[in-house]
């Protein structure tokens, strides 16, 4: 498995940082000087085992899929995954954060997680089938097993990261996330619910 990750600070965050420093300077210059380098830096979460579910055939000229992986946050502040964007040749629809929850009928269904997916401070969060994921809608072309998909993931601290994910196809990564179709890799509904 080959995967490369390139992370960078965004201009938007640099602007926010300058504004924050200006505000802090108005009230207490001493407080600013006590910040650790870690606190002042734009910390970009890191990624391991990032992949997308292959979508080898489009239905009705379009399709959907999802991105999974482990996101780690080395900073001492929580950072939230806000979604992202894909190459326009793949889809121009914003990539939202999704979760899988149990509905009133007891079925596991996916829905948008509007407030994003939190990566706890000095911790990690795992996006996986049956749980959190980054959702792709309106695919313009198929994704074959082994294809590399590049997306930009945006974070609540103003940073973003460009992530290359290789397409896989496994039985329990279907879009309905029906636990009855699982091979055992998906957590029980109770553990999925507790992750929110």
Q: Tokens at residue 148, please?
A: 């590399």
Cα–Cα distance, 34 to 44 (Å, whole number): 22
Q: Do 132 and 178 touch, CB atoms closer than 8 A? A: no
If one counts every other C-beta atom within 10 angstroms of the C-beta of residue 69, the result is 21
Return the CA Rg of the chain.
Answer: 19
The values of phi and psi at residue 81, to 5°, are: -80, 120
Report, in Å, the least distance between residue 66 CB and Cu ion: 5
CB of 98 to Cu ion, least distance (A): 3
Give the torsion through C-alpha atoms of 67, 72, 75, 80, to 10 deg. Answer: 30
Q: What is the DSSP letter of 130?
A: T
Backbone angles phi, psi at 153, to 5 degrees: -105, 135
- Using CB under 5 A, list all residues that contact Cu ion: 98, 110, 135
User: Least distance to Cu ion from the beta carbon of 117, Å?
Assistant: 12
Q: Which is nearer to Cu ion, 43 or 134 (CB)?
A: 134
Q: In the complex with Cu ion, which residue's Cβ is closer, 47 or 98?
A: 98
Q: For residues 15 and 176, which CB has a smaller minimum distance to Cu ion in the complex?
A: 176
**Which residue is at the shortest CB distance from Cu ion?**
98
Q: How many angstroms separate the most distant Cα atoms in the chain?
A: 61
Q: In the complex, what is the shortest distance from the CB of residue 53 to Cu ion, in angstroms, rounded to a whole number?
A: 10
Q: How far is the CB of 100 from Cu ion (least distance, A)?
A: 8
By beta-carbon proximity to Cu ion, the closer residue of 40 and 115 is 115
Residue 135 or 149 having the CB closest to Cu ion:
135
């Amino acid at each position: 498995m080959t995967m490369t990750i390139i992370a960078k600070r965004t201009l938007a965050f640099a602007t926010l940082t300058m504004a924050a420093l200006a505000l802090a300077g108005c009230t207490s210059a001493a407080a600013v000087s006590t910040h650790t380098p870690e606190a002042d830096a734009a910390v970009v979460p890191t990624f391991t085992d990032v992949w997308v579910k292959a979508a080898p055939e489009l239905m009705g000229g379009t399709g959907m899929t999802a991105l999974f992986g482990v996101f780690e946050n080395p900073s001492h502040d929580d950072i939230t995954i806000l979604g992202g964007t894909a190459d326009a040749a793949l889809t121009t629809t914003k990539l939202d954060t999704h979760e899988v929850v149990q509905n009133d009928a007891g079925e596991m269904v996916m829905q948008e997680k509007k407030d994003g997916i939190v990566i706890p401070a000095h911790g990690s969060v795992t996006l996986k089938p049956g749980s959190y994921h980054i959702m792709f809608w309106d695919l313009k072309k198929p994704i074959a097993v082994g294809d590399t998909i590049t997306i930009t993931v945006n974070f609540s601290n103003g940073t973003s990261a460009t992530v290359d994910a290789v397409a896989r196809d496994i039985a329990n990564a279907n879009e309905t996330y029906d636990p009855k179709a699982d091979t055992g890799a998906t957590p029980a509904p109770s553990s999925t619910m507790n992750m929110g």
